[in-house]
Structure 1
Amino acid sequence: MKVKRFFAANMSQAMKQVRDELGPEASIIGNRRVVGGIELTAALDYEPARVTPPTPGLDRELKKTREQMVTARARLDAGERSSDSPVVNRQMFGDSMREAAESGSTEARDFLARLQQEATEPYVAPLAKPAKAPEAYSEQASSSASDSAGMQAMKAELAGLRDLLEVQLGSMAWGQINQQQPKQAGLWRKLTQLGLPAELSQQLMTKVADISDQRQAWRLLLAHLAHSLPVAEADLVDKGGVIALVGPTGAGKTTTLGKLAARYVLKHGSQHVALVTMDTYRIGAHEQLRTLGRILNVPVRVVDEQNNLSEVLADFADKRLVLVDTAGMHGDDPELRSQLNELAQQGRRVQPLLVLPATSQYRVLKAAWHSYKRCNLVGCVLTKVDEAATLGEGLGLAMEVGLPLAYLADGQRIPDDISKAVGHKLVSRAVSLASEETPADATMADVFAGILNSQRAG
């Protein structure tokens, strides 16, 4: 027998390690949550050892006792008792204890009788001993802490078992589709190659469930995807106004601002444009914007302790377009909340665009949306498309939260590498970026496990 431990960030990755190293015949003999993820103990050719030789009569008694314990546990709080049954202190034992004793052995009934006798005897309180009181409180606190730790351990074990069950059910669901509906399985693989979230792929698959021809079904899937993508109807920069670029650190906000400003200057001239930066935290951030302002011949102002955003925008009231750069911070940073609140206070006067890097995972993109949605976002910009392996994560987020896609940035050149978002062009770009490598069965099993997890969380 071969036994090995596996460590991973989640249950899906741990199960994949078990399958890759020990094969599908391996048995999971233990799991627990550890710092940083999950620990699985797996064995190959594992046969549970029996402590005692098998005895048919004993096995029957054990099985009967287990059934009685399950029944007793289920009816622990029922509160019903027949008139001909012995009187039991319900507060201490409950009806389930009585039922278990009545249906069990003579020793169990005798044990219950002794407990009843002790429970009904008059209780004599012991004399108070002040010197012992602190110890009693200490013992009680220690007992409570022990019970709490035991509950936490039980919850962690149950969570691990639940994750393990979801992984196994996901593998079974994918195996059934792969064997019984190979054409549907092929479409599932293609959608996964695009990087689309599992829930969105499931919704799209329901739209082509009755189409037998795989090529036609694939074309319809892409058409539904392009039609469902929320995109900004007009070019926001051409419309003018105050546009603020917000987003996580390193998303490309300043570069995108430079591209949008240069496009507008080339089309309408520099006299109608102004640049504003709220980024006073990053070293040299405002100097970078001032350099851009000198190149484009447009004014630049900094929002700081002496000049708030309202005052700066009032000074630029005669400008047709004002582009505002912001600082990228962690979602829980108090300075970020202050910055977003200042933008939100401007109401519809400011149009915030969320800048998201297409190279980030879906969960990272969604976390960024949760952090910045408080400033009344009007759209988003997908950047670093030229560096992304897939485009489905960004498209999936826009569809899930209903955030219109305004621009697509795919390079560092100013102002060339930016374009207005168009539904069918986005889908075409996503298909061209998709990997040619077919997702493995283990990957598809994880997709279906993710669907089960989302259904449970919802």
Structure 2
Amino acid sequence: MKIRRFFGKDMREALSQVKAELGSDAVIMSNRKVADGIELVAAYDKEPEAKLAVPKPAPKAPGQKTMPSLSEIIGDDGPDSLKALLEKQHGASPSAVASSQPQAPASAQPMSANAKHANEIASHLDFSEAFLDDVENQQPNHDLSDQGVYPEHQASSIGETPATQSAELAQIKEELASLRDVLQYQVADLMEAKNKRQKPVHQYLVTRLTDMGLSSALAKQLISYTPAHYNERDAWAYLLNLLANRINVTGNDILSSQGAVALVGPTGTGKTTTVAKLAARYAQKYGAESVAMITIDTYRIAAYEQLATYGKIIGCTVRKAQTSEELADLLFQLRHKRLVLIDTAGFSQRDCRLIKQIRQFDNGQMPNVKKYLVAQANTQYPALQRIIQAYDDVELSGCIFTKLDECYSLGEVLSAAVEYQLPVSYVTDGQKVPEDIKIAEAKSLVSAAAKLYKKYGLNHTSGNNAIKTA
């Protein structure tokens, strides 16, 4: 095979050189734009003849169209652009020529010179169309139009509106992003399969931790510290102890300190009941006159009446504040109390009123108020993330997990507490005041999470595999 490079100021001139030196059967290997024009790399199986012999067309029959020769299609007198060249070739396609010629049986006579020439045109037409697609895929439109190629395409591109181009670009970006996500998923799946083969025990334990409710990131982080020689039982006990060591607990900090404490959090988490439980416990320890309760919940019906009822039972002072100025004034009036518990309104983390309420504690006139987040222990992990992130600008002294008696899994709240480094102060597990509140202990929380997983999470105990039929 003979390979040659050809240079021309445009595609037509370069193709003409290929045809003149290697003939019409040459194969274009590559093309690229250079400083002076176009560079083509062409190959030919046989030695080229001194001059390409072009068969003469047969005499024109009555009513028969004259077939253009190869020299007329790609020659010095051809069109000035590759696009026009292809349009001319399409006009002289073999199917059009064959439809206008009388059909003869194939066994009656051998292939005529015209038929051979038509095959040459068809072959070159297929090559030109494929070559055009290759050029359009490899070269930007503006580069080819600079060399005189595709003037019509350039005109259509100029006519496109910026909105159309922007929409097409956005669609391409969306498709690329989708392909990237699929590839990342496939690679992650391959890596996971590889890890399962290399460390089957570790991967099994990761699955157990995630089934217990822990996030995938925390589960993988914990498993990375597990010794490789541990069996499944020892490794599981090691992981539970490691998780307990990662949980930060504050102890009985609220009931052992003085000052003002506000409980914040979403609606329905049990803030009012928790305030009453803490007040009752404090009254048992230091006396009812040493504690007071304030509510700034002016949105919920009978919010003050509910807290006032608890205050009558406990025997402590209960007040209501509607503005930050009233709250600051009440805190000043109750400064002789050892502990003032503030009950806030419950808002969704997406509610703008939540931010307004939080700012009541930072108006410059307010004394130092410790803030504790109250969250339900049965909240989904993504919701917990959003709740904690809503209080990014608030200095939280700790959190209280409520409604443990309604949980089927505790891993979600433990995972959120570890990942966001949120200290856990108390847990509640019922509506009784003040019995159903306990000081948070890391080992007790992890043990409760493991028991719930064993009771509800394992396949052989969950009962999810049972098929109910009518």
Q: Given the alignment of the two structures, is residue 240 of structure 1 paired with residue 258 of structure 2, yes or no?
A: yes
- Number of aligned positions between the proteins: 332
Q: Given the alignment of the two structures, is residue 288 of structure 1 paired with residue 306 of structure 2, yes or no?
A: yes
Aligned match for 1:419, one of 414, 438, 463: 438
How far apart are the structure 2 equivalents of 1:376 and 1:168?
41
Which residue of structure 2 aligns with residue 362 of structure 1? 381
Aligned match for 1:387, one of 406, 425, 436: 406
How far apart are the structure 2 equivalents of 1:207 and 1:367?
29
Whether the 8 Å CA contact 1:389–1:435 is kept in 2: the answer is no
Q: Which has the larger radius of gyration?
A: 2
- Look up the equivalent residue of 2:351 and give its one-letter code: D
Q: CA deviation at 1:261?
A: 1.1
- Look up the equivalent residue of 1:416 and give its one-letter code: E
* 3-state secondary structure, aligned to 1:375: coil
Q: CA deviation at 1:214?
A: 2.1
Which residue of structure 2 aligns with residue 397 of structure 1? 416
Q: Deviations over 1:276-327 (max 9, x none)?
A: 1111111221221111111111111111149532111111100001110111
Whether the 8 Å CA contact 2:409–2:452 is kept in 1: the answer is yes
Identity %: 37
Map 1:25-64 onto structure 2 (within 5 A): none
Whether the 8 Å CA contact 1:246–1:372 is kept in 2: the answer is no
Whether the 8 Å CA contact 1:248–1:329 is kept in 2: the answer is yes
Which residue of structure 1 aligns with residue 71 of structure 2? none
Q: CA deviation at 1:153?
A: 3.4
Which moves more between the two structures, 159-168 or 258-267?
Answer: 159-168
Whether the 8 Å CA contact 2:263–2:373 is kept in 1: the answer is yes
- Structure number with greater CO (CA < 8 Å, separation at least 6) is 1
Which residue of structure 2 aligns with residue 452 of structure 1? none
The alignment's TM-score, normalised by the length of structure 1, stands at: 0.65
Map 1:138-177 onto structure 2 (within 5 A): 143-177=161-195
Q: Deviations over 1:17-73 (max 9, x none)?
A: xxxxxxxxxxxxxxxxxxxxxxxxxxxxxxxxxxxxxxxxxxxx99x88xx8xxx8x
* 3-state secondary structure, aligned to 2:146: helix
**What are the ranges of 5 or more consecutive residues in structure 1 without an aligned counterpart?**
1-60, 73-80, 88-100, 122-138, 441-458
Which residue of structure 1 aligns with residue 124 of structure 2? none
Aligned match for 1:249, one of 259, 267, 278: 267
Q: Deviations over 1:4-29 (max 9, x none)?
A: xxxxxxxxxxxxxxxxxxxxxxxxxx
Which moves more between the two structures, 431-440 or 174-183?
Answer: 431-440
Map 1:37-436 onto structure 2 (within 5 A): 85=37, 115-116=145-146, 143-305=161-323, 307-345=325-363, 349-436=368-455
Q: CA deviation at 1:176?
A: 3.1
The alignment's TM-score, normalised by the length of structure 2, stands at: 0.63
How far apart are the structure 2 equivalents of 1:387 and 1:330?
21
Q: CA deviation at 1:146?
A: 3.0
- Look up the equivalent residue of 2:405 and give its one-letter code: D
How far apart are the structure 2 equivalents of 1:107 and 1:421?
69
User: What RMSD over aligned residues (CA atoms) do the two structures have, in Å?
Assistant: 3.5
Q: CA deviation at 1:157?
A: 3.4
Whether the 8 Å CA contact 1:231–1:423 is kept in 2: the answer is yes
Identify if the C-alpha distance between structure 1 residues 361 and 161 changes in structure 2 by more than 3 Å, giving closer, same or farther: farther
* 3-state secondary structure, aligned to 1:407: strand
Q: CA deviation at 1:82?
A: 5.5
Whether the 8 Å CA contact 1:231–1:406 is kept in 2: the answer is yes
Whether the 8 Å CA contact 2:251–2:439 is kept in 1: the answer is no
Whether the 8 Å CA contact 1:341–1:375 is kept in 2: the answer is no
Whether the 8 Å CA contact 1:276–1:325 is kept in 2: the answer is yes
Q: Deviations over 1:100-136 (max 9, x none)?
A: x9xx679969x999833669x9xxxxxxxxxxxxxxx
